[in-house]
Structure 1
Amino acid sequence: MKQAKLLTQPEQKRVNALIDAHRYSARNRAIFAISFFAGLRACEIAGLKVGDVFDANGAVRDTVYLAAAQTKGDEANTVLVSKRLEKALLAYAAAYPLHTIKPNAALFFSAKRGGFSAQTIVNLFARFYALAGIKGASSHSGRRQFLTELADKGVNVRVIQALARHKDISTTQRYIDYNESKLRNAIELFG
C-alpha cells in the first residue's frame, strides 16, 4: 500500500503561503491544522460540529469527543487539542464569528455555506497540494506527518497508537516514516 507523502519544511511553507493567498484562508488553515496537529482523517474533519470544538463561550475545548458516526471505525473516540491547534482554531473563530454561534452547525463550511463532505475535504487538500506542485501528498499526509513527528520526538509507539485511535499497533507502525538519516541518528545514540 502506497503511503501518503510527508511534506518537507519548504513544502509546508509553500502550502501555507498558498492557503494564505486564497479565500477562506483562516478556514483552510484550521482544516490543515486539524490534520497536521491532531491527525484527523478527512471524514472526521468533515463530521465536526461547532459544539464539538468550541464551548458555549467560544473557547476551544481541550478535548474533542467524536461520536461513532464521525469516525472511520464507527467507534466514539477523543482527540486532544494542542496549543498549536487551539491557536489555528481561535483564528478561524475570529474570522467567522457568526458561524460559531450554533453548536450543531458544521464546523467547516463551503462557499455556499453548506458543510463539507469527506470528499470535499479530500479535494481541498488535493487542490492546495497541486497548486504547490507537491506530488504524492493527500488528505492523509497530515495524519501521517503528525504520527511520524511524534515518533521522531521519542514518543512511545503505544502513546502514538492511542493518539491515532488505531486498534492495532501494527497499523500505527506503518504510518511512521523512517529513512537512512533517521537510522544513522539512531545508531549514533550508542556512541
Structure 2
Amino acid sequence: MKVNRFGRAEILTAQQISLLFNEGFVNPRDKALFGICLYAAARINEVCTLFYADAIGLKGVRDKLVIRCFNTKGKQETREIDIHPRLRQYLDDYRISAPSLDKYNPHLFPGRHGRGHIHKASADRILREACLRLEIEGVSTHSFRRTALTWMSDAGVPLRHIQAISGHRTLAALERYLGVTDKQKQRAISTLDF
C-alpha cells in the first residue's frame, strides 16, 4: 500500500526515517538518493535525473543543490536548495564510494550499466525492498517529499519559503499538499478555550 485513504503519500515518522537510513538503505547511493528526496523535499524523478554537477563540484559537495527547470514536474523554474549537513554527509559518502561517477556519465545516479540515469521505478523498488525488510507499510517515494514539507510547516517555516523549496505554483496548492500531523493537532487542541 503506497498511499493513505485520501490518495496522498503517507507522512513518515522520525522512527521510520531513522530505521530507513540506519538499517534499510544498505549503500551510500541509496542514502544519497533518498536523502535528497527528504532533505531537499524533491520528487523522485527530480532526484533520479540530477546531474553530478548539480550536487558535487570540483571541491566536493556543493552548498546548494540545483534542481533544473527541465527536470521539474511543471518545468517552471530552476530551484536552488541549501544542502542540509546530514545530506552533505550522505552525498560525500556516496562520492567517496564511487570516485569515477562523473567520468563516464553526467548523472548523479547512473542507470543500469552506467547509461543514462537511474529510473524512478528502480528507486521505487529499492525503497519497497527496504520497507519490506523493516516491516514498514504505507511508504512511497513521495512520502519523503511530503514529510519534509509538512515538517517544515510544523516547525513554523513560512509557507512562502516552503513554496520556494517545493516548487508549488501557488500557496493554495502547497497547503492542500501538507499533511496534518499529531503535533499540529495537539497545538490546535491546546489553543481551544473552554
- Coarse TM-score class (shorter-chain normalised): 0.7 to 0.9
For structure 1, which segment, 68-77 or 138-147, has the greater mean C-alpha deviation from structure 2 after superposition? 68-77
DSSP 3-state at the match of 1:112: helix
Residues paired across the two proteins, number = 186
Q: Which residue of 2 aligns with 1:9?
A: 14
Bigger shift: 159-168 or 171-180?
171-180
Deviation at 1:108, TM superposition (A): 1.1
- Name the residue aligned to 1:31: 33
Cα distance between partner residues in 1 of 2:17 and 2:170: 30
1:117 offset after TM fit, Å? 1.6
| 1:37–1:85 contact (8 Å) kept in structure 2 | yes
Per-residue deviation, residues 69-115 of structure 1 (Å, max 9, x unmatched): 2111123311312222212111111111121446x521013563332
Q: Is contact 1:129-1:138 (8 Å) kept?
A: no
Deviation of the 1:187 alpha carbon: 4.9
Render the CA deviation track for 1:111-140: whole Å, top value 9, x for unaligned: 633320222223322232233222221000
Is the CA contact 1:54–1:60 (under 8 Å) kept in the aligned structure 2? yes
Structure 1: runs of 5 or more not aligned: none
The match for 1:119 is 121
Equivalent position of 1:98 in the other structure: 100
The answer to whether the aligner puts 1:18 opposite 2:23 as a matched pair is yes
Identical counterparts, % of pairs: 25
Partner of 2:139: 137
Q: 1:67 to 1:179 in 2, by over 3 A?
A: closer
The residue type paired with residue 13 of structure 2 is T
Whole-Å separation in 2 of the counterparts to 1:180 and 1:113:
43
2: CA distance, partners of 1:180 / 1:83 = 26
**Structure 2 stretches of 5 or more lacking a match?**
1-5
Residue 156 of structure 2: aligned partner: 154
Equivalent residue number for residue 62 of structure 2:
61
Q: TM-score, normalised by structure 2?
A: 0.84
Displacement of 1:47 after TM fit?
Answer: 0.6
Q: 1:46 and 1:181, CA in 2 relative to 1: closer, same or farther beyond 3 A?
A: closer
Please tell me whether the aligned partners of residues 54 and 100 of structure 1 are also in contact (alpha carbons under 8 angstroms). Answer: no
CA contact (8 A) 2:149 2:166 kept: yes
- TM-score, normalised via structure 1 length: 0.85
The residue matched to 1:64 in structure 2 has which SS?
strand
